[in-house]
C-alpha cells in the first residue's frame, strides 16, 4: 500500500481522481460514438447507413429541450439506463464499456445520479457541440 501511494505521488500511477479529470470527452466520443453519430455528431458516421434505426443529430439536443442541454437524460442514454435500439436494446452497452472512475451529477430536483466519469465527459463534450 505504501509503495502504491509512493508511485501515485511520483506520478507513475495516477490517482483515481486524476483519472476522472483526465478523461478526454472528445477522444472518448471519437473512439466509441463517432462511427455511428459522426465526427461532430451530425448523425453521419460511416455505420449510420448500415443501421435501420434513424441516426439522430446530437447537435440539436439543447434546441429540442428548449435551449437547455438535457445532461441527465443524455447521461442515462449513454450509460444504458434509457433503452435505445441503436445502443443494443436493454443491455447497457456503453455504461460497461466506458468503465473507470465514477461521477455524480444532480437532476434539476437535486437528486444525485451516479454514472461514470467517462460518460459525463462524453456528455459534456456533446454539450459543447450544440448549435
Residues in contact with ligand HEC by CB under 6 A are 32-33, 35-37, 47, 51, 53, 55-56, 58, 74, 77-78, 84-87, 94, 122
Cell of 120: 459525463
- How far apart are CB 89 and ligand HEC at their closest, in Å? 9
Distance CA(42)–CA(119), nearest Å, equals 19
Please identify, using beta-carbon distances, which residue of 7 and 99 lies nearer to ligand HEC: 99
Please identify, using beta-carbon distances, which residue of 19 and 84 lies nearer to ligand HEC: 84
Please identify, using beta-carbon distances, which residue of 86 and 100 lies nearer to ligand HEC: 86
- Check if the beta carbon of residue 47 is closer than 8 Å to that of residue 35: yes
Residue 62: partners with Cβ closer than 8 Å, 6 or more residues away? 68, 69, 70, 127, 130
Distance CA(99)–CA(21), nearest Å, equals 14
- How far apart are CB 107 and ligand HEC at their closest, in Å? 17
- How far apart are CB 37 and ligand HEC at their closest, in Å? 5
Amino acid at each position: 500500500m505504501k509503495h502504491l501511494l509512493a508511485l501515485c505521488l511520483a506520478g507513475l500511477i495516477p490517482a483515481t481522481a486524476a483519472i476522472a479529470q483526465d478523461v478526454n470527452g472528445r477522444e472518448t466520443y471519437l473512439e466509441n460514438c463517432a462511427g455511428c453519430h459522426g465526427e461532430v455528431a451530425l448523425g453521419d458516421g460511416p455505420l449510420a447507413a448500415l443501421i435501420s434505426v434513424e441516426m439522430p443529430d446530437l447537435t440539436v439536443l439543447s434546441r429540442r429541450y428548449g435551449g437547455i442541454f438535457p445532461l441527465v437524460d443524455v447521461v442515462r442514454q449513454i450509460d444504458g439506463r434509457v433503452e435505445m435500439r441503436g445502443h443494443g436494446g436493454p443491455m447497457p452497452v456503453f455504461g460497461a464499456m466506458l468503465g473507470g472512475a465514477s461521477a455524480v451529477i444532480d437532476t434539476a430536483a437535486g437528486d444525485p445520479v451516479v454514472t461514470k466519469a467517462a460518460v459525463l465527459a462524453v456528455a459534456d463534450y456533446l454539450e459543447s457541440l450544440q448549435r
